Amino acid sequence: MLDNRLSRPNRFLFTMLILAVALAVSCSDSPSSDAAPALSYKIIATYPHDTSAFTQGLVYDDAFLYESTGGYGQSSLRKVDLESGEILQSIRLPDQIFAEGITLLGQRIYLLTWKSNRIFVYNKETFALMEESPYPAQGWGLTHNGKNLIASDGTATLRFLDPNTLAIVSQTQVHQDGRGVGGLNELEYINGKVYANIWLTDRIAVIQPDTGAVTAWVDMIGLLPDRQRAAADVLNGIACDTERNRLFVTGKLWPKLFHVELIAAD
């Protein structure tokens, strides 16, 4: 969520301040992984990733990645070749817009904004802006279940939106052991579950969307080696190739995108 233009020390201090405030406001938003199965990962392949990309949303479709990047004056929507990491198509968003999560449904790319209370809808092929609609919350992550869009706002809330009217039709609270699980960020819908990056952590929550229950935790610690983390930011970015059953993850400013297989934790 942080502006990409902040220096590394300032970004770190700003991040710690936000985290401290969040914890002070509601400790009930802290995730607990005691009751849900723990998963780890095995790296299957790595691909290049643009180190200037402050990744907010990530989608895989037909051998390409669609990625949104954040930052005031730096936000973009782009189409990227998976194998080479080459940016094949890109548009810059207005300077006052901080782009957040995206999802692709049919021929439409839906893009959330952080604090602008807007949703943008783009044509998949041309990236032409088709629609702009008001949205009554902060935008963080976005995915869909084939029927509704599913959005996060950094709290424990998931909102379900009609993809035609963009109206909120329902919402659920993500929880485990009777406690809210906050920090929900980038989202991906995979095999009936919502996978959610937990902001400022290297963990992904696997969520039953109709009940909000966390059914598993994925521990991604160590995915990007420590020697490369100093120049990078948090884990953020989940995409799924459903035809070949491939799961891709990356992070903000990361030099690599990883194809991983989830396995039982030791």
- DSSP labels for 6-51? S-HHHHHHHHHHHHHHHHHH-GGGS---SSSPEEEEEEEEEEE--T
Sign of the alpha-carbon dihedral angle for 189, 191, 194, 196: negative
Termini Cα distance of the chain = 32
Query: How far is residue 220's CA from residue 59's CA, in Å, rounded to a whole number?
Result: 19
Domain ranges of the chain: 56-221
Residue 49, judged by CB atoms within 10 A of its CB (0-12, 13-18, 19+), counts as buried
Q: What is the pLDDT of residue 34?
A: 52
Q: What is the pLDDT of residue 97?
A: 98
Overall CATH class of domain 56-221: mainly beta
Cα separations (Å) of 145 from 77, 91, 194, 215, 221?
A: 22, 26, 9, 17, 28
- Per DSSP, helices labelled H in 123-261 are 226-229
Q: 219 and 40 in contact (C-beta within 8 Å)?
A: yes
Please choose, from the candidates 253, 262, 148, 250, the residue with its C-alpha nearest in 3D space to the C-alpha of residue 209. 148
Provide the residue-wise pLDDT of the chain in tens; the chain has 266 residues: 444 434 333 444 344 334 433 333 233 344 444 568 999 999 999 999 999 999 999 999 999 999 999 999 999 999 999 999 999 999 999 999 999 999 999 999 999 999 999 999 999 999 999 999 999 999 999 999 999 999 999 999 999 999 999 999 999 999 999 999 999 999 999 999 999 999 999 999 999 999 999 999 999 999 998 888 877 899 999 999 999 999 999 999 999 999 999 999 98
Phi, psi of 30 (to 5 degrees): -75, 130
Q: What is the pLDDT of residue 189?
A: 98
- Strands 38-48, 214-219: pairing is parallel
Please choose, from the candidates 210, 266, 214, the residue with its C-alpha nearest in 3D space to the C-alpha of residue 31. 214
